[in-house]
Chain A
């Protein structure tokens, strides 16, 4: 997976999380995931289709998800509150949307699908043309994981393929 696809997601997550959590964000680790995706806690999944296709997963362990949701809600939320999932979902939506906006300026066209709750413990394994990159954002409220698996759509316009191949 090319860095030009990833960087907008990192920039977007940094901006959205820093604003929402009102704290400094740092990247704790960045790794390629070769094994099947294993959910850590509360996870929101967003599919992207178009010139670039794939999915983005936002994943927080349960306690971190509660702390993040409580921070956004301005009040302590119980783990069972549906707002916990809603918060993770909307964060994923905002990060993906902002990243897609930046990528669109590079000539790629997308459709972002509404977030869905990722309930499976284990997801599909990476493939040669859809590697998954896992980025851990360290925040004052805990670690937030972003798992990105994107690939160029071979059916896209020839001139865009030429640009991407440079």
Chain B
């Protein structure tokens, strides 16, 4: 899998910490593998919206990657509940259902961006950099793996 120039936290140079939320173990593993190529760290995982909220409170990640269609509580509702409590939360919806109404609903309820499955690593990489903005720095490619 392609390696990308590592994205680090600007404030302390540490890896970006991710919370990965998807009811599919396969999807979570796949995202974890992609995150690794960005130099990121999976700080937590959740398989439904309810667990995502408690995990967010526990680990305070830099980024949440959130599926939409999940049992118990769907991703858009979970995103809204997290953002109400933590307006600074950066949540990127990752779903195979990418029609306009879904995207608009997610953005209106607090998500920062949307990526459609199957996830293309180069697309997610650009979205992560965009969402983090000045709170992230991109190390030179030569520094990758150091």
Chain A neighbourhood of B33, CB < 8 A: 74
Chain B neighbourhood of A41, CB < 8 A: none
Residues 25 to 44 of chain B near chain A (Cβ within 8 Å) = 25-27, 29-30, 33
Chain A neighbourhood of B117, CB < 8 A: 93-94, 97-98
Comparing B5-13, B78-86, B95-103, B126-134, the segment that makes contact with chain A is B95-103
Residues 36 to 93 of chain A near chain B (Cβ within 8 Å) = 69, 72-74, 82-83, 86-87, 89-90, 93
**Which A residue's beta carbon lies closest to that of B23?**
A114
| A104 & B96 in contact (Cβ 8 Å cutoff) | no
Q: How far is the CB of A83 from chain B (nearest CB, A)?
A: 6
| A87 & B26 in contact (Cβ 8 Å cutoff) | yes
- Judged by a CB distance under 8 angstroms, whether B69 is at the interface is yes
Interface residues on A, range: 20 to 34
Indicate whether A72 sits within 8 Å of B25 (C-beta atoms), given known contacts A101-B97, A101-B99: no
- Residue from the list B25, B26, B70, B96 in contact with A97, Cβ < 8 A: B96
Q: How far is the CB of B123 from chain A (nearest CB, A)?
A: 12
| A112 & B26 in contact (Cβ 8 Å cutoff) | no
| B26 & A83 in contact (Cβ 8 Å cutoff) | yes
- Residue from the list A16, A72, A109, A113 in contact with B26, Cβ < 8 A: A72
How many inter-chain contacts with C-beta < 8 Å in the A-B complex?
Answer: 63
0/1 per residue, A98-109, Cβ < 8 Å to B?
101100110001
- Residue from the list A20, A90, A101, A104 in contact with B24, Cβ < 8 A: A90
Q: How far is the CA of A94 from the CA of B27 in the complex (A)?
A: 10
| A104 & B116 in contact (Cβ 8 Å cutoff) | no
Q: How far is the CB of B102 from chain A (nearest CB, A)?
A: 8
| B97 & A97 in contact (Cβ 8 Å cutoff) | yes
Interface residues of A (CB under 8 A from B): 16, 19-20, 69, 72-74, 82-83, 86-87, 89-90, 93-98, 100-101, 104-105, 109, 112-115
